[in-house]
Structure 1
Amino acid sequence: MTITLGQVLIRILEDYGVEHVFGIPGIHTVELYRGLAASSIRHITPRHEQGAGFMADGYARASGKPGVCFIITGPGMTNVATALGQAYSDSVPMLVLSSVHARNHLGAGNAGSGRLHELRSQQALVAGLTAFSHTLMQPDDLPVALARAFAVFDSARPRPVHIEIPLDLIGADASHLSPKSLVRSRKPLAGQPSIDDAAAWLAGAARPLILAGGGAVHAASALRALAEHLQAPTALTVHAKGLLPAAHPLLLGSTQSTEPTRQLVREADVVLAVGTELGETDYDTVFDGGFGISGALIRVDIDADQLARNFAPTCTVLGDSADALERLCRALQQAPARPPGTPPSHAPAGEASAWGACRVHAVRAQLESAWDLPFKAQRHYLETVLAELPDALFAGDSTQPVYQGNLAIDMPGPRRWFNSSTGYGTLGYGLPAAIGAQLAAPDRPVVCLIGDGGLQFTLPELASAVEAGLAPIILLWNNGGYEEIRRCMRQRDIRPIGVDLYTPDFQLLARGFGCDACRADDASALRRALRQARSGTRDRPVLIETSQAHWHAHAYAADRQTATTPPGPLHGDTDA
């Protein structure tokens, strides 16, 4: 009995542990689906290929496993390109399997012949958005191409991979191929000399500080042990939230773009940067070039190229961050013991009392005194959600509460706060990413944080969630347009144009898609809506819409009441 290449593909994906694929079947990809119905892999159908990519991205971030997409030739590839850009920028493992025209129709010389879904070169389209793009030229190439893809996911900086299968190969006989995957690779480990060098710098530090990024998301226990041993203030990038739990005395949060944290970084004599690009969207969101490192810089990264970017290192450690941190901690623990919180013996007297948790507390107090009322109002919005859903996972878009949450909200564990406001910075990501995350975390509440502008990019994906029986909680922050750009225009003395949007009746639209919907413009209403969303067994999304103007009005009133009637929380229930 003939086994096609498409069928072998499904069997190999199963062997790699793939549980979900996201895609929209098309005339060029139907052969990929021949073996899908009899497999253990669940297919999720988005309403747009960009949604497929964002779903795969959210699934990958929540699970740590690569998200897989089946994408049609031509327009499917141009549609998924934006999602590839976001995943590439944020180092997210994603496998895009697409069709492409028959082998005898490939190449620039054959372009322009008027074939269906024709692109001059799909590889050229995604060259800058993937770790690599590969065209199968014979059936036997498939296992090797997939092994290369999973080698990237398993043992390198994880980024998207694209594999395209010519139309004359998808349905070709591949009975001779083994459906088994090749041996999985492991992350490379740093050489001992570089570990020793880094340990020597840290052992001699009087004012050590740690900057950790998404490349350390799997290294929470090792990072915490090292931070506590060094008594090092620790700042986390947005996608590293939770590596130190919320309220940890050494946690600076994700405040690297604020002056108090920047000043602390400048005072550090040794900075350990692990799994982070030290890039603009985590360290300079105010775009003033004000982030700097004055002390020695140790960089730990799995990507050799990244070790030399943005800030020149004093010492480098090339390898897996979890292994490197564990070995650094062991090396330091074997050094002569000193009481927790005390600096090395050569440090100036009194150094211990001026660093570590003491300085973190002072920085946080400075920041708290500087937050304005709009910031506090939106932080209260997020704190209300966390109080009701302490185990929630947040998939966010580019929207006001996400911007504030990036600065002000800390998570109890990793892989629970991610969004598209950093890196590539696309709109419309939040909803499909939440759908993917819900598949990865079916027993945990998944919250989509999205604005009225961003939701209109991918609103039809509500139907995808209903169809799949998934129940993310969609928190819609409605400020009638693109608030951040509106503010930017006003700051630059530009009359706002194109930012005040017509906003539809989202309640009506959500119900039309088969979702539940309600409004919550103050803390009490939001709590009631969240409790109702969490109660019982739900198989459909709920959209909870909040008016920015109304929420701020209630929060300001509560703030004024608190100022005249102490003691009490900064923000209380205005309808109590």
Structure 2
Amino acid sequence: MEQEMRPLGAQILHMLKARGVDVIFGIPGVHNVEMYRGIEEAGITHVLARHEQGAGFMADGYARATGRPGVAYVITGPGLCNIMTPLGQAYSDSVSVLTLSSCLDETVGHRGQLHQMRDQRAAAAAVCDWSEEARDAQTAYGLIDRAFTEFKCKRARPKHIQVPIGVLGGMASAAPKRKDVSESSYGCSGADHIAREVAYQLENSQKPVFIFGGGLVTLKDDGSVPPNEVYVRDIVRRTGAAAFMTYAGRGLLAADDPLSFGTYLGRPESKRILQESDLVIAIGTELSECDLWRDELGNGGRLVRVDIDPEVLVDRHRADIAVQADGLEFLLAMLQDIPGVTAVAKWDEDEIAATKNRFRAETDAERPGIIEVCDALAEVMPEEAMIFSDMTQFAYVANEVWQMPWSGYWHHPSGFGTLGYALPASIGGAMGRRGKPTVCIAGDYGFQYTVQELGTAVEMKLPIPILLWDNHKLKEIEDCMVESQIAPNAVTALNPDFCKLAQSYGCLAVKPNSFSELQSALT
């Protein structure tokens, strides 16, 4: 039977639906209207952002919340430029975001066209894993399947595909049926042998330390606890090793684990602890500046690195043993060679507890008054709540002191560090977790980068508590200026009445005057 012919834009929508896409975030324009032809027929929900930056962050939040790729639609030129900041954030934090855009049919001989750029594809390539142009239907289908395959089998990174306006409107046959690609093992040949060797070193080390990163986090869209925590907590129990978690790995260890140093890896004293260790095993972490807040890890003994990205394995930290492998698979391989009984702790548990208390006090001294608010909120926060935070002092403190019941439920724009992330990302997360609690935490300045997305949240009827930390200024920057002996300048801006602003969008808004009122409002 002859395949039904449709304009390519419509065929792409049906292809995306067949690949599991049920939500697209974006903004239609004159150049990409063909991308919207038959979107209802394809069975896809479109979420109308108020700005392409919001659409990108929504796709990011959706991907983090569900473990499935987030998809965004934008127009030629300024639409793509506006989404490049979210794409940079997704690249930095290893998030699966696919952006599809229109592009001009010809740019060399015809200047002065609407939305024209010198090289749109190359611009997106600066913040994406790759950026390619499809000048026919089969190339478009191939690139989409390539993106989805790589999302499944490689380190997550954003991708960009652009299709000329004329090609989008041209008639095309349907995309080929999906061919299932088995999720590959990232391990190199001999990885199991190396796992046995590392397990042996663990057994014979005096003071081993694990560093668990976001590469060990698996998201579940049904709200169930991922199994990764079980294995991570088990290997600590069975080896007697101490452990740190990166911010992205928060929740992999239980808050009351006596051998956990928590997420205090960025504390200067953590270097002293790692110098005492004769074996450090870092799994699924870049050990980046935003993990350590110093130039070097500071380990005194051997360093083992396990990561799916070979680039990480040859960075400045220079591991003694570097293994390209999926972190969880490698951890499971080690567990096979480790006795299944609780080991004698190789670190003083009382000393670990005292050290964490000292770290907590340092955090409170640096940014006074925030810990008490964190504690009050954490006390009544639903255990299944997923939290999206912005670049704000409140989140910087919470990243260290707020203990999560499991991993993958607090998302922060690390690395690229973009303001305005939390609100649209929480919208994307809420779209992917309908019926489950989703929370946004933002500062007064960053909130205003994407405040217009309140309209999207109300339009989609999303019950998102937005916790706004309003200190009436860019307090972190002011503190930095003072520390650098620079007279504070350009750190105070006129704020609106945020409650009235929220109400104008149709939101409920309250300004609690006590911890109990704050807890009641959140509940």
Query: TM-score w.r.t. structure 1 length?
Result: 0.85
Instruction: Mark the CA change 1:527 to 1:242 in structure 2 (over 3 Å): closer, same or farther.
Output: same
Could you tell me whether the CA contact under 8 Å between 2:96 and 2:151 is conserved in 1?
yes
Q: Distance in 1 between matches of 2:348 and 2:241?
A: 5
The residue type equivalent to 1:118 in the other structure is: Q
Give the 5 Å matches for 1:112-151: 113-151=111-149
Q: Please point out which of 3, 20, 23 is paired with 2:6.
A: 3
Q: Which amino acid aligns with 2:202?
A: L
- 1:328 is aligned to 2:325: no
Counterpart contact for 2:206–2:278, Cα < 8 Å = yes
- 1:61 — aligned with what? 64
The one-letter code sitting in structure 1 at the alignment partner of 2:6 is I
Q: Residues 168 and 96 (structure 1 numbering): CA distance in 2 closer, same or farther, change over 3 Å?
A: same
Shift of 1:518: 0.6
Q: In structure 1, which of residues 273, 293, 296 is the aligned counterpart of residue 299 of structure 2?
A: 293
Aligned 8 A contact 2:303 2:320 in 1: yes
CA drift at 1:388: 1.4
1:181 matched to 2:165? The reply is: no
Contact kept, 8 Å, 1:238 with 1:418, in 2: the verdict is no
Query: By how many angstroms is 1:360 displaced?
Result: 2.5
Q: C-alpha separation between the residues in 2 aligned to 1:444 and 1:360? A: 35
State the shift of 1:18 in Å: 1.1
Contact 1:232 1:356 survives alignment (8 Å): no
Aligned to 1:393: 386
In structure 1, distance between residues paired with 2:39 and 2:275: 55
Question: Is contact 1:520–1:529 with CA below 8 Å preserved after alignment?
Answer: yes
User: Taking CA–CA contacts closer than 8 Å with sequence separation of 6 or more, which of the two structures ends up with the larger relative contact order?
Assistant: 2
Indicate which of 383, 400, 408 corresponds to 1:407.
Answer: 400
- Is 1:271 matched up with 2:280? yes
Which one of 23, 37, 42 corresponds to residue 39 of structure 1?
Answer: 42
Task: Give matches, 1:497-512, under 5 Å.
Answer: 497-512=489-504
Partner of residue 474, structure 2: 482
SS of 1:117's equivalent in the other structure is coil
Aligned partner of 1:201 in structure 2 is 201
Q: Is the 8 A contact 1:207 1:269 kept in 2?
A: yes
Partner of 2:242: 233
Structure 1 SS opposite 2:173: coil
C-alpha distance in structure 1 between counterparts of 2:348 and 2:69, whole Å: 37
Take 1:127 and 1:176, find their aligned partners in 2: how far apart are those partners?
28
Partner Cα separation in structure 2 for residue 221 and residue 296 of structure 1: 26
Show the 5 A alignment for 1:89-488. 89-102=92-105, 105-106=106-107, 109-110=108-109, 113-175=111-173, 177-178=175-176, 180-190=177-187, 191-218=191-218, 219-284=228-293, 287=294, 289=295, 291-333=297-339, 340-342=342-344, 352=345, 355=347, 357-372=349-364, 375=367, 377-391=369-383, 392-420=385-413, 422-488=414-480
Mapped partners of 1:431, 1:143: distance in 2: 32
Secondary structure in structure 1 of the residue aligned to 2:466: strand
Greater Cα offset, 510-519 or 114-123: 114-123
Contact 2:10 2:39 in 1 (8 A): yes
CA distance in 2, matches of 1:418, 1:298: 27
Query: What letter matches 1:94 in structure 2?
Result: V
Distance, in Å, in 2 between the alignment partners of 1:317 and 1:358 is 33
Any idea what SS the aligned residue of 1:460 has? helix
**1:174 Cα shift?**
1.4
The SS at the match of 2:303 is strand
Q: Structure 1 residues 404, 478: closer, same or farther in 2, change over 3 A?
A: same
State how far apart, in whole Å, the 2-side matches of 1:371 and 1:101 are: 51
* Alignment RMSD (CA, Å): 1.8
Q: What corresponds to 1:12 in structure 2? A: 15
**Seq. identity, %:** 36
1:244-294, Cα deviation, whole Å (9 max, x unpaired): 12222222211012134332222111111111000011111xx5x464112
CA apart distance, 1:358: 4.2
Match of residue 572 from structure 1: none
Q: Which one has the largest radius of gyration?
A: 1
Distance 1:236 1:495 in 2: 36
5+ residue gaps in structure 1? Answer: 343-351, 532-576
Q: 2:168 & 2:440 partners in 1: Cα distance?
A: 37
| Secondary structure of the structure 2 residue equivalent to 1:517 | coil
Q: Does 1:25 align with 2:16?
A: no
Count of residue correspondences:
507
Which residue type is aligned with residue 395 of structure 1? F
Aligned-partner SS, 1:331: coil
Structure 2, unaligned stretches of length 5 or more? 219-227
> By how many angstroms is 1:371 displaced?
4.5
